[in-house]
Each structure stands twice: as structure tokens, then as C-alpha cells.
Amino acid sequence: MCTKSSSTSRPSYHQVDEADREAQLSSRNDVLKKSFAADLWTKVIIRAIDDIALYQWMREMGRTLKEEELAYEESAKSFLFDDEYSIPMDDYLVNITCVKCNTGWPESMSKAAGNDSVCPSCGKKTSWKYTNYEMIDGQVLKNISLKELISLWGVDDIVGFRAGCHRRIQEIVDKKLIVSKNKEKKHEQET
């Protein structure tokens, strides 16, 4: 497990940053705040991409990475690119109502979002896009993979998503290298 030093404050990716978590999900009675959990995970994905790019850039600049930096990089890579890696996420119960027979049943938000539902009473299939949800008091912390996480946002192509992450990492590294080389040239011209 990674530890944080006073000079480095990168997140650990096996859990949500506690400060952000408290800020986003502090009120369990506020449905809007609950919906920000996806935004919070977006921040974690962006941080993982930034970490990998940072350490790749440091290597290309000839810097030796410290042990904790290597651990942060490995954690970020596992989070984004390892199919076996799972992350904790709050899951909420919602009540789904059948559009045909008006029967209601409880379902976890992670299962209901992005998946069609089948009424246990009449068997009618209802598209998740047209389902009306009612939030039920109740919350569970469960582990899900990155593939399951992004499927909640309607992204089913994990290969394409990861390819996009690789492209974004390379773009960041390339920009950092250009900035570094420009600084070196400017410094050489001034001396």
C-alpha cells in the first residue's frame, strides 16, 4: 500500500480521496449530492492519467523515480489498465416502476443504470433509458471494475476507453517535453 510523504500528495487509487468523498457525499438525504459520485470517479481517472504521464515524463527527462513514485505509478496503471483491479463505490437502492403493470421493485443503482430491467410481475422489459427511478434510503459500498464503472456512464468499449487513456497520457508527456526543452533553450540563451 502506498504512503504519502509531505512533499507528495498523489491519491491512492484503491479508494476515493476521503476529503473529496466527504464533500461530495456528506448528506445521504440529498439525491443530487449522491449523483456526484460519478463526477468524483471522473476526477480519480484524470488523476491516474496525470500520474502516469508525470512519471513517464520524468523518466524521459532522465530522472530516477523514488520508491513511492513507482508505487503511485503502479497503482494508477493498475486502476486504469488491469482487468482484475476493482475499486470501492457507493451503490444506492432505487425503486423501479414497471410502465406496463405499475409494479415496483428495488434494485441497486449500479445494476439499473445502463441495463434494461425486467418486471418480476409481468415480465415486460423496460429500457433503462426510459425507466423512472425513485431513490430508496439505503447505501452499500461494493467493489466494481473500471469496466463496470464506465458502463454506468454508457461507455461499453473498455478497449477504446483505455486506448483513449494511452493517447491522452502521450499527449500530456509530449506537451511536457516541449515545455521542458523550451525552458532549457531559454536558459541556455540567457547564460
pLDDT at 25 over 90: no
pLDDT of residue 162: 94
pLDDT of residue 37: 57
pLDDT of residue 130: 60
**pLDDT, tens only, 118-174:** 888 888 887 766 666 666 666 666 677 888 888 877 788 999 999 999 999 999 999
Instruction: Give the C-alpha separation, 14 to 181, whole Å.
Output: 35
3-state class (DSSP) for residue 106: strand
In this prediction the pTM is: 0.58
Question: Domain boundaries in the chain?
Answer: 1-82+157-191, 90-141
pLDDT of residue 62: 92
Beta-bridged to residue 135, according to DSSP, are 94
pLDDT of residue 32: 43
Instruction: Give the C-alpha separation, 20 to 36, whole Å.
Output: 10
Evaluate the CA torsion angle 176, 87, 138, 27 in order and state its sign. negative
Instruction: Give the C-alpha separation, 32 to 53, whole Å.
Output: 33
Average of pLDDT values for 13-34? 45
